[in-house]
Structure 1
Amino acid sequence: MADAPKYTNRLAGEKSPYLLQHVSFLDANYITQIAHNPVDWYPWGKEAFDKAVSENKLIFLSVGYSTCHWCHVMEHESFENEQVAEIMNKHYVNIKVDREENPGVDKLYMTYVQLTSGRGGWPMSVFLTPDKYPIFGATYFPPEDKMGRPGFKTLLKRIAQMWAASPDTMRENATDTIEQLRSYTEESGTGSAKLDFEKISSSVYEHYESSFDSKEGGFGGAPKFPTPVQFGFLLDYHNYIKDVKTEESKKALSMVKFTLDKIARGGIHDHVGNGFHRYSTDNKWHVPHFEKMLYDQAQLLSTYANIYKITKDKYYEGIIRDIVQYVERDLQHHEGGFYSAEDADSFPHAKASKKLEGAFCVWEKSELNTILGDEDTRIFGHHFDVDEDGNVDPAQDPHGELVGKNVLMEVESVSDTAKALNVSEEEVTHAIERSKEKLWKYRIEKRPKPHKDDKVLTSWNGLMISGLAHAAQALQDPSIHKLAEKAALFIKANMYNEESSTLIRSYREGASNIEGFLDDYSFLIQGLLDLYESEPNDKWISWAAELQKKQDDVFYDKKNHGYYGVPETDDSILIRMKDESDGAEPSGNAVSVKNLLRLGQLLEEESLISRATESVISFHTILTKYPFAMPALVSSYMMHDRGLKQFVISGSRNDSLVQQFQKTINETFVPNKVLVYAEKDGYLASVNQTVESLTKGEQKPLVHICENFTCGLPMDNLEELQDALG
C-alpha cells in the first residue's frame, strides 16, 4: 500500500471541491491519480495575507468553481505547468477562492474587473497589493503570448517587475481605484426621491420587448442564457397590468411562453438525462455549455410552475416533473439537501485519458442504431435532428470535441414527426419514451459520469426549496412538497446554529466554517415562506422570522438602508457592497424586499414593511437609470406598489372545503399573494391579531381577503373565491 500523499500547498484541509481540485502532491504514486498542481496555493485567509505583507509580495487571486470549463482549461494549461508555477511561487502569494463558497470576495473583485475591463467571468484572475487592493484583473489567460496579446507567463513576469521597480506608485493607483469603487458603490445604493412605478416597470418591459428574439426566443443574441429573473418580471408584469394594458400583458406572457417552449425543446434541455444545461452557445438553444447548476434547475422549476398556473398547459407539467426527477435522482444528498452542480466535461469512455465537454450527453448516429435498433433510430433521430455526420455547427465547437456528434434537439412536434414518417402519433410517442430509457441506461452503464460538485449551499438550496414548493402548489403533488421539506430540515439540522440564529454557507462532509451571506438568509427565508404556502406549518414562519431578524442585525445598512452582501465583521473585504443587479440569481436585496413585505403581513409588523419601503427607495438612483439590469428588484417594487393580498383560511384542516380553498389559491398565479391558515394556538395566532381572532368560536370553513391590514367580508364557497381570484 502506498504511503499517504504529501501536500505542497494548504488546500488539502478545505471542504470546497474546487479548492481540492488544486491540491498538490509530492508522492509520485499519487500524481497519476490526481492532477499535479505545483502552485503553492493558499485559501483566502489570514495566513496568506500575513505572508504577503511580511514578504512584501503581490497576491495573485484566482476565483472559480469546480464545474467551470475554462477554470479547468487554465488549471491544466498554467497551474499544472512547472514553469508557470515556479514564477507564481517565486513572486506571488497565490490564493484560490471558490466563488460559490465565498461570494463576498467574488463580488468585490468581479465588480472591479467588470468596471476596468468591460467584461467578467470565470476563472477570474486578479493581481492585488499585499493589502488586497487590486492593480490588474481579467478572466482566462492562455499560458503563452498569442496574436499580439501577452500570455499568462509574460503577464506574471511583467507585473512582478513593475512591483519591484515602483511599488509605491502601484499602491497609490490601487488605493485610488478602490476609493473610486467605494464612491461608485455608495452612489448606486442611495436615494430618497419618490419612484414612478408605472414609468420604471414600463421601461423594463419595453427593454425586453425591443431585445426579444421573435424567431428563436430569448433576449439578445448568443450566447443565450435561461433568464428566470427576466421571466419572473414579465409574468408579474403580465398579471399586474392585465386589466389596464391588455395587449402589453398578452405580449409579456407570450414572450415568456415562446422562450420557455424553445428552451424546453432545445439542446440546452437534456432530453435523455433530464434537467437543463447552463446556457446555449448559439441563437437556437441547440449546442449548450453542458454543465448543470442547481440554481438554474431551481429557478426554471419556479418559472415553469408559474407558467403552468397561468396556462394550465399539460406540456409544462412534463417539464416540471423532468426537473424534479433530475434533482432528486442526481443532486440530492441522502439526508435531503441538494448538491451544487455537475460538470460539463467528462471522459468519453472508461479508458479515456482526456475529458471532453459534453461527452456524457452527445451521440453518434451509429451509437443510436446499435442501442435502439433501426426503426426506433429512424423515429427518434428524425424527431431530435440526428445526422450521420453530427449536427453541431463547427462554429459552436472551437476545440473539435463534438465532431460527428449529435446534440439532441426537438425540431418539430410529435404530430409533424408522425406525418413526415407516415406513422401514428402513438408510435412516435412510444418510440421516443422507449429510446430515452435505453439511452439513459446506456449512459449510466457505459459512460463515466461528469464530476459532481457535492457541496450543499444554503442559498441555492433556498432557491430549490422555492422551486419545489411552487411545483408542489402547481401540480398539487405532496411528494414534491416532501422534497422541499427535507431540504429545509437538512439545512436546519446541519447548517444552522440555533443559539445564535446563524446560518452556515456550505456543507460537505460536515458544515464549513464560513458563516452565511445575505443571499443565504434571503433565499432561505423566501424558500420557507413558499414552503409554508405549499402546506401551511407555522414552524416555517417562525424560523423565517428568526432568520429575518438575524439578517437585519448583520446585513442591514441602518444609515442608507438596503442590505450589504457580507457582514461587517468580515474585515478581509475592503468594501462592503450591496447587490441590486441580478445575475444568474436574483439579487439578495430584491428577494429581501419581498420577504419583508410578506413577513410584515404575516406577523402584522409594519416596521418590516417600512424596511422594505426604505430598501427599495435606497436604490432610487440605479432603479431610475438602469432598471432593466435589476428585474427582480423591479418585481419587488411592483409588489410593494400594488400591495399584498392576504388570503386567510379558517376552519378545520380536514374539512374538504378548506382543502379546496387552499388548492384553488395555490393553483392560481397571484404574484402578490400571501396565504395564511388560521390555526388555533399556532405561532401566527400568537403574533397576528387577525389570525388570532379567526381561531375563536366555531371553526367554519371561510376565506378572508385582507389588504393593508384590513379584511373584507368572509367567503364561504368556492365559486366566490374563484371570482375573487379572477
Structure 2
Amino acid sequence: MPNHLSGETSPYLLQHVENPVDWYPWGDEALTLARTGNKPILLSIGYSACHWCHVMAHESFEDAEVATAMNQHFINIKVDREERPDLDQIYQTALHMLTQRHGGWPLTLFLTPDQKPFFGGTYFPKAPRHGLPGFLDLLPRVAEAYYARGEEIERQSASLLRSFANMLPSASLATPAFSEQPLDQALTELEDRFDSVNGGFGDVPKFLHPTELEFCVRRYFATGNAETLHMVVHTLKKMAEGGIYDQLGGGFCRYSTDQHWSIPHFEKMLYDNGPLLRLYTDAWLATEDPLFKRVVEETAEWVMREMQPSVSASTDMRGGGGYYSTLDADSEEEEGKFYVWDRAQIAQILPPEEYAVVAPYYGLLRTPNFEQKHWNLEITQPLAEAAVAIGIQHEEAQQKLASARRKLFIERELRVHPGRDEKILTSWNGLMIKGMARAGRVFERGDWVQSAALAVDFIRSTLWKNNRLLATCKDGKAHLNAYLDDYAFLLDGLLELMQAEFRQVDLDFAVALADVLLEQFEDKQAGGFFFTSHDHERLIHRPKPGLDNATPSGNGVAAYALQRLGHLLGEFRYLQAAERALGLFYPTLSRYASACCSLLVTLEQSLAPPQIVILRGQAPALTEWKKALGCGSPYTLVFAVPLELLGLPPGLNKPAARDNTVNAWVCQGVKCLPEISDLQELLRVCEIQGKIGSSIING
C-alpha cells in the first residue's frame, strides 16, 4: 500500500512512496495527528541526489521491521530540503544546538507534537556500526524517552527557542559608519584559510566556495591586488583540472572528498554551477586563460544539454525552459558508476595513438584513484609535457585529445545515467540565469542568453501567480510560498539578463519582485529580510540569514540587487531598504567578515555606487556601442535600451540622438553626466569613472 506521499511533486518524496513506512508530507494532516494523538514526530529531511539518503532508505525505510517500529511509535514526516529550505534551516540549526555537531543529509530529528526537536542525528545504520547506534534499537528508546522525560524535554525546548531568538541580529540604536575595514578583514581571513598548494579554503571535505571567490575577483578588479587574484586563479585551475570537474561532460560536482579535488561526491547541483559559470567568466576577463573559457563553454553546454528542456520540448510543460535541480550521485545504486572508468575499457575504445595522449593526461598511468579499482578522470600532466614525452607536436596532441574525448563521451552516454531531479526551483534558477546571462554577454553567445531568457519566461508564466512567486514546479504543477532566496536570486539574475538583452517585460518583473521583497519580507523596524514572508506558515523560528552557506545569503543578494535597481531607477525605497539591511548586519560583518561575502559586496557597492551606462539607439549601432564597452569590470552596468521601447521609468527613458544613432548616459549612483554622442568619448569617460569608483572603494 502506498503511503501519503503519492500526491507530491518532489521526486525525493516520490522515491519513498512505496516504502512500508507510513510517511506523510509536512502539513496540517500529519501535525494534527501528532497533536491529537500525543505522538512524537520522526522528521526525515533529504534530497533526491543525496547518496547517504539512498543508503538509509535502502537499509531502513524499505525494511519491514524498521518500518513497523517507526509506524508504531511515531508520526513519520518526509521533507525535501530543496522544496522546504525553511524547515531545513531551522532543524539543521536545532541539531547543531542539541549535539554541537554539524548537520547534513539525511537529517533525522525527533520532534514533540508542537514541532520542537528533542533528539536527532543524520545518517543512522539499521544495526550499530562505525560507532553509530542502530536505528532499529534507537526508535523504541527515543519513543520511551519522549513519554518518560516530558518535563526535561520541555525545559530543553524552552532553552532551544531562546537560543533561536538570540540568533536574530539586533538593530543598534545608531546607524553604524560604514568603512572598508570589513573588506580588508575578509581578505585577511581568506588568505589565512587559503590552501596555497591545492587551492580552495579550509580542509577536507573541500567545497567550492564560489561566493568567497567572487568577492576576491571583485577586490582584484577594484585594487589590482595580484595576491587576491592568485587565490582565485590557483583555486579555479586546480578545480578545473581535478576530478570534481566532469572532464568529459562539463559541470562541477558538489564537493571533493580529498584535498586534491580528485574524488568528488558525484552529485551535480544547479546552485553550484550557476555561480561558477559567472566566476570562471570573470576570471577569464582578468586573465584570458583558455582553460577558464573552455570550462565555461563546456559547463554551459552541459546545462543546456542535461539541465534544461530543449526549446522544441518546452511546450510539454515538464520544464518549459526552466532549469532542473540536480543530477544524482548514484546510478544503478552505485555512487559514481556513470563517471568512472576501467583503464582497459578506455584502451579498447581509443586507437593506440589517442590512448598514448589520454593515459598520461588523465592519470591512467597511475594507480586507480577511485575505490582502488577505477579511475575518475583528472588532469595529472600538462598536455604539452605529454606531447613531448610521446614525441608529437602540441597541436597534434590537442587534436588527438579532442578526438578521444568525443569517443569517450559517446561511449559514456550509452551507460545508465544518474537520476535527474526535474523540479524547477525558483531560487536556483535565479542563480543559473545570472550565470548563463553573464557568460553569454561576455563570450557573445546569444544561445546562452536565450537559455537564461527561456528560464525567466517559464518562471514568469508558471511560478508567478497573483503577483507572488511560488517556490517549486514539477510537471507543470507549481506550489509552495516562495522564500527570500527565490525573490533575491531571481531579481539579481534579471539585472544581469537585462544587460545581456534588454526586455521591458524583465524590467517590469524586476520591479514587481523588489516591491514584494519590501512588502512581504523586510523587517521595517529592525531592518533586513526574513527568510519567509509575513504570511508564511508559522514555524518554531523565523530566520533572518546573513551568513553565506552553499548558496549566498538571501539578505546579501537582496540588498545588493535592490541597491542596483535603486540606482538604475532612482528609487530611494530600494536604496533605503538595502541600507537598513546593511546596517543591521554590519556588526556581524565586523566579527565574521569572510563568512558574509555577499553582504560585503553590498557594503562595497554602498561605499562606491556602481557606474551605470545607459545606451539608447537603434540596431546595429546600439549593438556596436555595447560591444565596444565590453564587460571588463563587475563595477559597471551597461543597459542597451532599444528606441522602440516606450513607457520606461525616467532613469531609462532617455531621448533619441538627433541622427537616430546612439546616445549614452553615464551615471555614478544617482549622479549622471551630460549625454554623450561620440563612442570614443564614452570609452574615455567610462575608463575615468571606473578609476574614480575604485579609488572611492579604497579610500
TM-score by length of 1: 0.90
Alignment match, 1:12 = 6
Match of 1:197, SS? Answer: coil
Contact 2:473 2:479 in 1 (8 A): no
Alpha-carbon deviation of 1:568? 2.5
What is residue 695 of structure 2 aligned with on the other side? Answer: none
2:42, 2:76 within 8 Å by CA — same for their partners in 1?
yes
Q: 2:198 matched to 1:216?
A: yes
Partner-residue secondary structure (3-state), 2:45:
strand
CA 666–106 in structure 1, closer or farther in 2 if over 3 Å, else same: farther
Comparing 716-725 and 612-621, the one that deviates more: 716-725
Amino acid at match of 1:13: G
After TM superposition, list the pairs within 5 Å mapping 1:146-185 onto structure 2.
146=129, 149-185=132-168
Quickly say closer, same or farther: Cα 1:622–1:337, change in 2 above 3 A: same
Query: Which residue does 1:21 correspond to in 2?
Result: 15
Matches within 5 A, 1:548-567: 548-567=514-533
Kindly indicate whether the alpha-carbon contact (under 8 Å) linking 1:60 and 1:128 is maintained by their aligned counterparts in 2.
yes
* 8 Å contact from structure 1 (residues 504, 511) kept in 2: no
**Residue correspondence of structure 1 range 90-105 to structure 2 within 5 A:** 90-105=72-87
One of 192, 207, 223 as aligned partner of 1:241: 223
Q: CA deviation at 1:286?
A: 0.7
Partners of 1:370 and 1:702 in 2: how far apart?
Answer: 61
Deviations 1:310-342 (A, max 9, x none): 223333221111011101111112321111111
Task: Please state whether the residue corresponding to 1:412 is helix, strand or coil.
Answer: coil
Counterpart of 1:420?
389
Q: Does 1:76 find its partner at 2:52?
A: no
SS in 2 for 1:284: coil
Between the aligned partners of 2:292 and 2:666, the Cα distance in structure 1 is 29
373-382 vs 481-490, which deviates more? 373-382
Q: CA deviation at 1:373?
A: 2.8
CA drift of 1:18 comes to 0.4
Amino acid across the alignment from 2:374 = K
Deviation of the 1:571 alpha carbon: 2.9
Greater Cα shift, 79-88 or 124-133: 79-88
1:246 is matched with which residue? none
Q: 2:616–2:643: 8 Å Cα contact kept in structure 1?
A: no
CA RMSD of aligned residues (A): 1.9
Unaligned 5+ segments in structure 2 are: 315-320, 691-699
Question: Would you say 1:365 and 2:326 are equivalent positions?
Answer: no
3-state DSSP class of the match of 2:480? Answer: coil
Of residues 45-54 and 71-80 in structure 1, the stretch that sits farther from structure 2 once superposed is 71-80
Shift in Å at residue 493 of structure 1? 1.6
1:667 partner letter: C
Q: Distance in 2 between matches of 1:444 and 1:691?
A: 48
For the pair 1:429 / 2:411, whether they are aligned, the reply is no
- 1:443 aligns to what? 412
**Hey, what's the Cα distance between the residues in 2 that align with 1:474 and 1:516?**
31
Letter in 2 for 1:339: Y
Q: In the alignment, does 2:428 pair up with 1:460?
A: yes
Q: Distance in 1 between matches of 2:138 and 2:55?
A: 18
2:364 corresponds to which residue?
A: 386
- Answer whether contact 2:124 2:132 (CA < 8 A) is retained: no
Q: Is the 8 A contact 1:191 1:621 kept in 2?
A: no
**Take 1:284 and 1:567, find their aligned partners in 2: how far apart are those partners?**
41
- Are residue 341 (structure 1) and residue 326 (structure 2) matched? yes
Structure 1 residue aligned with 2:595: 629
Distance 1:407 1:227, change over 3 A: same
Q: Does 1:674 align with 2:637?
A: yes
In the alignment, what sits opposite 2:96?
114
Aligned-residue offset at 1:486: 0.8
Report the equivalent of 1:276. 252
* Cα separation, 1, equivalents of 2:135 and 2:628: 59
Distance apart, 1:422 and its partner CA:
1.5
Is 1:377 equivalent to 2:355 in the alignment?
yes
Distance 1:719 1:315 in 2: 32
Could you tell me how far apart the structure 1 residues matched to 2:111 and 2:411 are? Answer: 48
- After the TM superposition, which residues 680-695 of structure 1 pair with which residues of structure 2 at under 5 Å, given as runs? 680=643, 682=645, 686-688=648-650, 690-695=651-656
Mark the runs of 5 or more structure 1 residues left unpaired by the alignment: 1-5, 25-36, 243-248, 348-354, 393-401
Number of the residue aligned with 1:252: 228
Task: In structure 2, give the amino acid aligned to 1:57.
Answer: K
What SS does the aligned partner of 2:417 have? coil
CA 1:192 to 1:449, structure 2 compared with 1: closer, same or farther past 3 Å? Answer: farther
Q: d(CA) in 1 for partners of 2:483 and 2:12?
A: 19
For residue 660 of structure 1, what is the aligned residue in structure 2? 624
Structure 1 Cα separation of the partners of residues 474 and 357 of structure 2: 44
Q: Give secondary structure in 2 for the equivalent of 1:505.
A: strand
8 A contact 2:274–2:432 mirrored in 1: yes
**Equivalent in 254, 261, 267 of residue 285 of structure 1:** 261
Q: What residue in structure 2 maps to residue 397 of structure 1?
A: none
Secondary structure of the corresponding residue to residue 271 of structure 1: coil
Q: 1:133–1:175: 8 Å Cα contact kept in structure 2?
A: no
> Partner letter of residue 431 of structure 1?
K
- TM superposition shift of 1:680: 4.7
| Alignment match of 1:483 (pick from 446, 451, 465) | 451
1:198 aligns with 2:192: no
Instruction: Give 1:652 deviation, angstroms.
Output: 2.2
Partner SS for 2:338:
coil
Question: Counterpart of 1:352?
Answer: none
C-alpha separation between the residues in 2 aligned to 1:608 and 1:415?
52
Q: Once the 2 structures are TM-superposed, how far is the Cα of residue 667 of structure 1 from its aligned partner?
A: 2.3
| Preserved contact between residue 618 and residue 643 of structure 2 (Cα < 8 Å) | no
User: Which residue in the other structure is 1:704 paired with?
Assistant: 665
Could you tell me which residue of structure 1 aligns to residue 282 of structure 2?
A: 306
CA deviation string 1:476-504 (max 9, x = no partner): 1111111111111111122111xx21111
Residue identity matched to 2:249: G
What residue number does 1:46 align with? 28
Distance 1:545 1:474 in 2: 25
Residue type of the alignment partner of 2:13: L
Conservation of the 8 A alpha-carbon contact between 1:495 and 1:511: no
Distance 2:140 2:424 in 1: 38
SS at match of 2:534: coil
User: In 1, distance between residues paired with 2:578 and 2:612?
Assistant: 17
Residues 563-574 of structure 1: pairs in structure 2 closer than 5 A: 563-574=529-540
Corresponding position: 1:537 with 2:498? no
Deviations 1:281-335 (A, max 9, x none): 1111111111111111111101111112222333322111101110111111232
Name 1:86's counterpart in structure 2: 68
- Determine whether 1:510 maps to 2:479: no
Q: Which moved more, 1:192-201 or 1:633-642?
A: 192-201
Separation in structure 1 between the aligned mates of residue 131 and residue 435 of structure 2, nearest angstrom: 47
State the shift of 1:681 in Å. Answer: 6.7
Relative to structure 2, which stretch is displaced further, 258-267 or 117-126? 117-126
For 1:43 and 1:53, the matched residues in 2 are separated by 16
Residue 697 of structure 2 corresponds to which residue in structure 1?
A: none
Which position in structure 2 is the counterpart of 1:30? none
Amino acid at match of 1:455: K
Q: Distance in 2 between matches of 1:94 and 1:551?
A: 34
Q: Residue 231 of structure 1 contacts residue 303 of structure 1 at CA under 8 Å; is this kept in 2?
A: yes
Give the superposition deviation at 1:697. Answer: 5.5
Alignment check: 8 A CA contact 1:596 1:612 kept: yes
How many residues end up aligned between the 2 structures?
677
Task: Determine whether 1:128 maps to 2:115.
Answer: no
Is the contact between residue 266 and residue 329 of structure 2 (CA under 8 Å) also seen in structure 1? yes
Aligned-pair identity in percent equals 34
Asked if 1:605 corresponds to 2:571, the answer is yes
Contact 2:178 2:607 in 1 (8 A): no
Residue aligning to 1:324: 300
Distance 1:204-1:73 versus aligned 2 partners, 3 A rule: same
Structure 1 CA distance for aligned equivalents of residues 24 and 146 of structure 2: 21
Offset of residue 86 of structure 1: 1.4
Structure 1 match to 2:318:
none
